[in-house]
Structures are given as C-alpha cells and as structure tokens.
Amino acid sequence: MSLFSTISGKTPLPFCFGAMQFGGKANAVESRTMYDACRAAGIAFFDTAHVYTDGESERLLGRFAAQERDDLLIATKASYSGGASRAAILDSVDQSRSRMSIDVIDLLYMHRWDPDTPLPETFGTLAELQQKGIIRRIGVSNYAAWQVMKAQAVAAEYDTRIDAIQPMYNLVKRQAEVELLPMCAGEGIVPVPYSPLGGGLLTGKYAGGGAGRLTENAMYQKRYAQESMHQTAKDLAALARDHGTSPATLAVAWVARHVARPVPILSASKPDQLSPSLAAIRFEMDDALYDQISALSPTPPPATDRLEEA
C-alpha cells in the first residue's frame, strides 16, 4: 500500500491501533501496556484525534512513540468542533503537533464533513501544510462517497489527493460496502474502518450480561439497539466456539478480509480486552469462513434500483 510505504519506507502489518481511550478509560500505565502489546504484535500504525480525551490521547501517544518515531505511522484528526476552516485546521494542527512533540503528522484526517466551509479553503490549507512538510498525507473521516469524490476533485486542483478514509464498518454495520469500499478499491484510497467490534457487541460480552459502551453510553445503545444485531453477535460467538477462537478475532479478521483490503482500527479500554483483536493479525480466514460469517447479517443492497441486474 503506497500510503504506508511512502510514509515510513516500509509496509507495516495491515492493522491500526486507535488510541481513543488513552488518558480516558485507560490510564497512562494501561495505555502504555496496550501500546507495547501492539508494537510486539507488529503494529506500526497508530491513530488518535485532537478531540480524544481532551488532548491526553495525543500527549500519551506522542510520549510512547518518541523513541521510535521514524518507525511509525502516526495519524490524527483535525478539530471536531472547529469545522474545516483554514483557521481551525491550522490551530488544530499546531496543538496536535505540540501535544505529541512531533514536527510532522504522517496522516491528517478531516474528522467530519463541514457543509459550511468551501472545499477550496479546506484542501488549499491542507495542500499548503503538505508543501511545508507539516503533514504528509490527507485523509477524511465520516464522509459519504460523494463527499469524498467531490473533495478529491478539489484536492487535485492543489496537486494533492485524499489517500485514506475512516468509515464505520463491522459485521452489523455494513453500509460501507455499498459505495465507500468499492470507491476505495477503484480510486486507490485506503479504507481504515473504525468500530470493527461494533462498540464491543461482537465480542459476545453483552450476551453474558457484561457492561461497556452499549450499557453505559446512550449513543452506542441507540446505534446497536436492533435485536437482529444482537442475534448476529450471538451467532458469531457460536461460530467462534466451533473454530476454537474468540468472536472478536473473527469480527476483526472478517473486516480485514474484504476485497478492498481495509485496515481495521483495533482498540480497547483495558489491556486484557486487546488480545483477541491482536490475534486477528495472524488469523487465516478462507473464503468459506468469510462467506459463513457474512451470512450472519444482511448484505446491504447495491446502490441501484435496477436490482434485477445486480
């Protein structure tokens, strides 16, 4: 993948770790333990954001990465609340670099679509940051496919491009298969999906009465409220037992197995939660198992009303 090789000079394993919980649910010691576990497993791609844990996520990640900065690909996202204006981007990037004590951000994502800021202002600013060597690559998060391609056309006017996108994608949230993942495959954009475990639903812990985001966070409760999603999680857990592995391992490996070659973002709030996801790195999923897992949830219809031709 050119995104990796042109930034780091080497190709890390195709997984990313998301530091969203660093300095929040994961204290500094727990965060360091998870960072070290990822490095031991071969992960060299780390993701954070300006908004995460009031900046503590960036500060901790920068501290952990300091001694091996040149071996890592570090991504962060511009300010979530500030919009995509030139002033907001410049301020956000300055803060993120200061927090992480780094000169260059390998991959900077726009955290969400901003309908109120002209695209030339946003991507002209990003192109300028690239030219100055402050950021290396541009990504977007939570964009629709049409928004990506509209922005890509504007980026081309500044002799740059969008190289990565972060969509939500997991076994019970498959909308990305309709347009985003085919777009990525066709346009050479690397998909870096978040929530491969569906907020923990696909770990199987909630079927056993466990607690977590789906019991503590109203947004996640609503996002994964459908009974069919919980049934999929139960079916995945049963399939995992048949294969002598964890449902989390299967869930992450299934995301990575898509033909568009997604780079799943692994994450956890405690070190002991991370191991099953890391195990997906070495898990070999054949076509038969991939199809079996895919059948546990509805495949979204293609983006056409001519279904008889699909």
**Coil/strand/helix, residue 262:** coil
278: part of which helix (H) or strand (E)?
helix 271-279
Sequential DSSP letters for 4-15: HHHHHSS---S-
Provide the edge-to-edge strand list for the sheet that holds 162-166.
190-191, 162-166, 135-141, 105-110, 73-77, 45-47, 16-18, 265-266
- Span 80-93, average pLDDT: 93
Angle at 305 between CA 301 and CA 307, to 5 degrees: 60
**Phi, psi of 195, rounded to the nearest 5 degrees:** 60, 45
Query: DSSP assignment, residue 72?
Result: -
CA distance 257 to 113: 28
- Span 239-247, average pLDDT: 97
How confident is residue 13, by pLDDT bands cut at 50, 70 and 90?
Answer: low
Q: What is the pLDDT of residue 6?
A: 47
- CA distances to 12, 18, 58, 63, 260 from 95, rounded to whole Å, are 27, 19, 10, 15, 33
Q: What is the pLDDT of residue 1?
A: 44
Residue for token digits 């570090």?
A: 74
Strand intervals (E) in the chain: 16-18, 45-47, 73-77, 105-110, 135-141, 162-166, 190-191, 265-266
Q: What is the pLDDT of residue 5?
A: 53
Of all residues in the chain, what percent carry a pLDDT higher than 90?
84
Number of Cβ within 10 Å of residue 233's Cβ equals: 28
**Phi, psi of 154, rounded to the nearest 5 degrees:** -70, -40
CA distance 163 to 126: 13
Task: Write the CB contacts of 133 (distance below 8 Å, at least 6 apart in sequence).
Answer: 103, 104
| pTM for the predicted model, two decimal places | 0.93
The per-residue pLDDT for range 120-160, each reduced to its tens digit, is: 999 999 999 999 999 999 999 999 999 999 999 999 999 99
How confident is residue 310, by pLDDT bands cut at 50, 70 and 90?
Answer: low
Nearest-10 crossing angle of helices 247-256, 287-294: 110
Task: Write the CB contacts of 238 (distance below 8 Å, at least 6 apart in sequence).
Answer: none
Domain 1-166: which topology? TIM Barrel (3.20.20)
28: part of which helix (H) or strand (E)?
helix 28-40
The per-residue pLDDT for range 172-224, each reduced to its tens digit, is: 999 999 999 999 999 999 999 999 999 999 999 888 777 778 888 888 889 99
